[in-house]
Amino acid sequence: MNNSIFEKINQLREKLNKLNYKYYVLAESEVSDFEFDSLLNELIKLEKEHPELITPDSPTQRVGSDLTKIFNPIEHKVPMLSLTNTYSEEELRAFDSRVRSGLEGEERIEYVVELKIDGVSASIHYQNGFLIQAATRGDGKVGEEITNNIRTIKSIPLSVKEKRSFEVRGEIFMALADFKKLNEERKANGEKIFANPRNSSAGTLKLQNPKEVAKRPLDIYTYYILSHELRLRSQNESLNYLSKLGFKINPNYELCSNIEDVINYCRKWEINRDSLPYEIDGVVIKVNIFAQQNRLGSIAKSPRWATSFKFKAKQAITKLNKVTWQVGRTGAITPVAELEPIELAGSIISRATLHNADEIERKDIRENDFVKIEKGGDVIPKVVEVDLLQRQPNSVALNIPTICPDCKSQLVRLENEVALYCVNEECPAQIKGKLIHFASRGAMDIEGLGEAIINLFVDKGYLKSFADIYNLSKYEDELKSLEGFGAKSIDNIFASIEKSKSQPFHKVLFALGIRYVGAGVARKLANAFETIYNIKNATSEIIEEVDEIGPSISNSLVQYFSRNENNKLIEQLIEKGLNFVAELPKSNNQNLIGLSFVVTGSLSEITRDEAKEKIIASGGKFMSSLSKKTDYLLAGENAGSKLEKAKELGVKIISEEEFNGMLNK
Ligand code: IVH
């Protein structure tokens, strides 16, 4: 090996690492971008000529070539705890009292106060000084591996001078200016914009391709180091040590000797939060001395030695230009405030929810009013109140609509409900909303069939009901010739429609969009009743026997199944092969596999619905109408037209007895 090349490479690396550190951790630039790039290119060239000299911590190795295919689960050996929240001085004092009584007899209690960065926490492991693994927090016990993505963050050292093993934790975030720039680019490219910097950090860390991550300006503030090899005594010392190792720590932390100082720090930053180039949502208060932290311990998932002080939601005043009324999938009409765009908590707000007509009347909200809006966390902003001093003299109270803004049918107000409803089954806005829900991730999970495409397909007349989704292939040629659709994208949609047929029963039940039947309730119902027919045949009393299911849910279900259209729809979906039975069929035998049945007339031993269940449970296919492809018509007493039709089509007709014989063969 050529010694001088080895040395040259090392020199370049050292120089580049130092410049990186200065630029990304200390925010000082010593050289121009051009000079930096020249040095980096020189190193790249040398490493290309001598690949045997490449080390994983070389500044050229931040972006590996490997795509992260899946994010492996990583168990946190020391759980990543969360913090209890405080919202007032009183609560901070109460926290201090609890700490004092927990540390009975200790005179000196100091707190380290840090800014609570609004980002995503991560854990990063180093072995013998080298970054070897990184993970998200996950549920605190198990997170997801994000090593390749973390390596792209320039303020995180790939190796440190001290060849020790340790774990570092910190908050990954995106500075406000970078967040805005990213959103502008996304908007220009027609991509969905992120609601806030935290979402954009989380979204970026979840990207599959580290090269894409490297293009996004993520940053970190570290606040924790854990090692058996170190003898750190306090949070204060830890922060200094992290900084000494080359990690980026937030410089605004302070050591407070009493709770009054803590309160003052919180007040100061609540007022000054907007002066920072990144988002904070509060202050974290930690007992400084580790021995004291250990004595206090933790309860459930939160330490007793720390808490967070959460800032109040940010508010802003802006003009309400117009109120629009939106039709949801249940037909509920929701008023939305269209606002003069205004910046609030790092994002531009142009709409806010007004909940319902009552709320508008109660707050006397009018068009052209100036309104105070508020945003707490990541929830949709809401209108808090009207600034009456700025109201125009000619202002008039809002007209509450009486007809549906989409289909123009008369709106109704249901008993005991605040919302107005459009009850027209054919209302296109409702149909679209229902289909969007049906195809969504948590329901049938039909990839490619998103909002825009559903809206288009409804407008073009291809889709009206859930069952139509499973008949879409009949329009294959037309769909493939639609502007903006390639044959491939349509084929992909068909493939995901096919795949959706294997969604489990509880997801199908959720997808139906029955009022009050959310994902969790659907799961409970599926577990308790196992088949759609059992739910359909249950009275509201029986349904309410299921844990945590009350009258609104049971009544909604009874009402749903009392409607013919709904039952017809379910039959159609069963015919298409969707799962309406929980788990796999219970029947030991699969005697009816490959055979299709239609049932008619009244059976003597079982109901028609039970017959259907038996058919499905034994692997057969249940159909509601006869065709040449039908294998058997199971005919009971008083069978009508279906019996005639079966004879015409040459479909084999069987009695209940024969059917039982087939089942128990
Ligand atoms: S300490 C038990 N320090 O806030 C110690 N957390 O619920 C918990 N955060 O998950 C973490 N800035 O994502 C700590 N200076 C800071 C922080 C901070 C932001 C986040 C972190 C954590 C959450 C607390």
- DSSP per-residue letters across 446-479: -TT--HHHHHHHHHTTS-SSHHHHTTGGGGHHHH
| Residue bearing the bigger pLDDT, 290 or 622 | 290
Ligand 1 atom closest to 253 (CA)? 15
- Within-domain flag for 68: no
Place of tokens 């939160």: 302
CB 338 within 8 A of CB 398: no
Asked whether residue 66 carries a pLDDT value surpassing 60, the answer given is no
Same domain (yes/no): 154, 90: yes
Least confident of 86-100, 340-354, 578-592, 635-649: 578-592
Q: Is the CB of 303 under 6 A from ligand 1?
A: yes
Same domain (yes/no): 34, 129: no
Q: What is the structure's pLDDT at 130?
A: 95
Ligand 1 atom closest to 306 (CA)? 2
Query: 651: domain CATH number?
Result: 3.40.50.10190
Ligand 1 atom closest to 137 (CA)? 10
Same domain (yes/no): 383, 306: no
Q: Is the CB of 599 under 6 A from ligand 1?
A: no
- Within-domain flag for 286: yes
Contacts of 59 (CB under 8 A, 6+ apart): 13, 16, 17, 20, 40, 43, 158
Query: 322: domain CATH number?
Result: 2.40.50.140
Asked whether residue 468 carries a pLDDT value surpassing 80, the answer given is yes
pLDDT tens-digit readout, 242-260: 999 999 999 999 999 999 9
Ligand 1 atom closest to 115 (CA)? 15
Which 8-state DSSP code applies to residue 196? S
Q: Is the CB of 116 under 6 A from ligand 1?
A: yes
| Residue bearing the bigger pLDDT, 458 or 617 | 458
The residue whose C-alpha atom lies closest to atom 22 belonging to ligand 1 is 82
The residue whose C-alpha atom lies closest to atom 14 belonging to ligand 1 is 284
- Cα of 98 vs centre of ligand 1, distance in Å, is 20
Task: Single out the residue of 249, 379, 390 nearest to residue 314, CA to CA.
Answer: 379
- Cα of 432 vs centre of ligand 1, distance in Å, is 41
- Within-domain flag for 173: yes
The residue whose C-alpha atom lies closest to atom 23 belonging to ligand 1 is 82
Q: Which of 456, 475, 502 is the last residue of a domain?
A: 502
Partners of 325 in beta bridges:
335
The counts of H helices and E strands in the chain are: 25, 24
Question: How many structural domains comprise the chain?
Answer: 6
- Cα of 306 vs centre of ligand 1, distance in Å, is 10
Q: Which of 453, 480, 502 is the last residue of a domain?
A: 502
For residue 329, the Cα-to-chain-centroid distance in whole angstroms is 20
Asked whether residue 2 carries a pLDDT value surpassing 80, the answer given is no
- Within-domain flag for 438: yes
Report, as an integer, the average pLDDT of 115-135.
95
The residue whose C-alpha atom lies closest to atom 13 belonging to ligand 1 is 121
For residue 213, the Cα-to-chain-centroid distance in whole angstroms is 19
Same domain (yes/no): 488, 635: no
Q: Is the CB of 81 under 6 A from ligand 1?
A: yes
- Cα of 286 vs centre of ligand 1, distance in Å, is 10
Same domain (yes/no): 488, 509: no
Q: Is the CB of 117 under 6 A from ligand 1?
A: yes
Same domain (yes/no): 128, 249: yes
Same domain (yes/no): 329, 437: no
Q: Which domain holds residue 218?
A: 85-310
Average pLDDT of every residue of the chain:
90
CA distance 158 to 173: 18
pLDDT tens-digit readout, 300-339: 789 999 999 999 888 899 999 999 999 999 899 999 999 9
Same domain (yes/no): 247, 102: yes
- Cα of 56 vs centre of ligand 1, distance in Å, is 29
Same domain (yes/no): 125, 18: no
Ligand 1 atom closest to 114 (CA)? 15
Q: What is the structure's pLDDT at 346?
A: 64
The residue whose C-alpha atom lies closest to atom 21 belonging to ligand 1 is 121
Can you spell out the DSSP letters for 22-75?
IIIIS----S-HHHHHHHHHHHHHHHHH-GGG--TTSGGGSS-S----S--EEE
For residue 140, count other CB atoms closer than 10 A to its CB: 14
Query: 532: domain CATH number?
Result: 1.10.150.20
Q: Which of 257, 291, 310 is the last residue of a domain?
A: 310
The answer to whether the Cα torsion of 263, 268, 274, 280 is positive or negative is negative
CA distance 526 to 530: 5
pTM over cut 0.75: no
Same domain (yes/no): 478, 545: no
- Within-domain flag for 47: yes
Same domain (yes/no): 247, 211: yes
Ligand 1 atom closest to 302 (CA)? 2
Instruction: Enumerate the active-site residues.
Output: 116
Q: Is the CB of 223 under 6 A from ligand 1?
A: yes
Q: Is the CB of 121 under 6 A from ligand 1?
A: yes
**Surface-to-core class of residue 567, CB atoms within 10 Å of its CB (0-12 exposed, 13-18 middle, 19+ buried):** middle
Q: Is the CB of 172 under 6 A from ligand 1?
A: no
- Within-domain flag for 122: yes
For residue 8, the Cα-to-chain-centroid distance in whole angstroms is 48
Q: What is the structure's pLDDT at 331?
A: 92
- Cα of 124 vs centre of ligand 1, distance in Å, is 15
pLDDT tens-digit readout, 471-507: 999 999 999 998 888 889 899 999 999 999 999 999 9
The residue whose C-alpha atom lies closest to atom 12 belonging to ligand 1 is 116
Ligand 1 probe mutation, 76, 78, 81, 83, most atoms within 8 A of CB: 83
- Cα of 233 vs centre of ligand 1, distance in Å, is 19
- Within-domain flag for 417: no
CA distances from 469 to 425, 483, 570 (A): 18, 20, 13
Q: What is the structure's pLDDT at 96?
A: 96
- Cα of 82 vs centre of ligand 1, distance in Å, is 7
Q: Is the CB of 82 under 6 A from ligand 1?
A: yes
| Residue bearing the bigger pLDDT, 403 or 344 | 403
SS3 231: coil
Q: Is the CB of 83 under 6 A from ligand 1?
A: yes
Ligand 1 probe mutation, 78, 95, 117, most atoms within 8 A of CB: 117
Same domain (yes/no): 470, 533: no
- Within-domain flag for 221: yes
- Cα of 284 vs centre of ligand 1, distance in Å, is 7
